[in-house]
Chain A
Amino acid sequence: DTAVSQTPKYLVTQMGNDKSIKCEQNLGHDTMYWYKQDSKKFLKIMFSYNNKELIINETVPNRFSPKSPDKAHLNLHINSLELGDSAVYFCASSQQGAFQPQHFGDGTRLSIL
């Protein structure tokens, strides 16, 4: 009965590779997000989709490309991975209505060798 699930939980890969992280939510929410949390625990918004439409696109290298096939899924593809991409990536979802909190996935720890 996991609400927001991300796969994989851990990802170890070489510099220059391409990788994807998948996210699915079964809460019926209409908005999904990707965050990057660095080693200092700062949470930085990367992207947000509302009903499959991109609504937030922060200053992120264009090596990062989100894709939302439907409102329950938001995947993150990263090309040409760099050392600085090492971080924990969180997917989250929320329902329309500002009092609705975000529900987070467990995070994907990405380590670049």
Chain B
Amino acid sequence: AQTVTQSQPEMSVQEAETVTLSCTYDTSESDYYLFWYKQPPSRQMILVIRQEAYKQQNATENRFSVNFQKAAKSFSLKISDSQLGDAAMYFCAYRINAGNQFYFGTGTSLTVIP
């Protein structure tokens, strides 16, 4: 079964600090892709960052970076210099190379404290 687990339903971070959101997944596939999406109160789903499983180098997008540990099936998101606009639900997802389906975690609600 393909599953994605986000073990932190809620997290908070002080503005300008760093926070890490965890994500683990379970798959028997070796070729897949990982994504983090952000859903602010406006309810739009916005792609934050993505990672190819065959690449060892961790993806980075400005203040957002991932820690991808393939053997541990872990894909955490690090947000540096947190801003008020980072407050949102964050969803981890993955997609196997041979399929069209995306598997989503249950989300982590991030609060940024001024």
Q: Tell me, in angstroms, the Cα distance from A60 to B88 when the chains sit together.
A: 28
Contact B100 A31 (CB under 8 A): yes
Residue from B35, B42, B45, B98 having most chain A Cβ neighbours under 10 A: B45
| Tally of contact residues, A, Cβ under 8 A | 25
CB of B44 closer than 8 Å to a CB of A:
yes
CB of A45 closer than 8 Å to a CB of B:
yes
Q: Which DSSP category, helix, strand, loop or mixed, fits chain B's interface?
A: strand
Contact B104 A43 (CB under 8 A): yes
Contact A106 B44 (CB under 8 A): yes
Contact B33 A50 (CB under 8 A): no
Contact pattern, B 67-81, Cβ under 8 Å of A = 1, otherwise 0: 000000000000000
| Tally of contact residues, B, Cβ under 8 A | 27
Contact B50 A99 (CB under 8 A): yes
Contact A55 B43 (CB under 8 A): no
Residue from B31, B42, B89, B101 having most chain A Cβ neighbours under 10 A: B101
Q: Name 16 extra pairs, CB < 8 A, besides A98-B33, A101-B47.
A: A31-B100, A41-B39, A43-B104, A45-B102, A55-B100, A94-B100, A98-B31, A98-B96, A98-B97, A98-B99, A99-B33, A102-B45, A102-B47, A102-B102, A103-B47, A106-B43
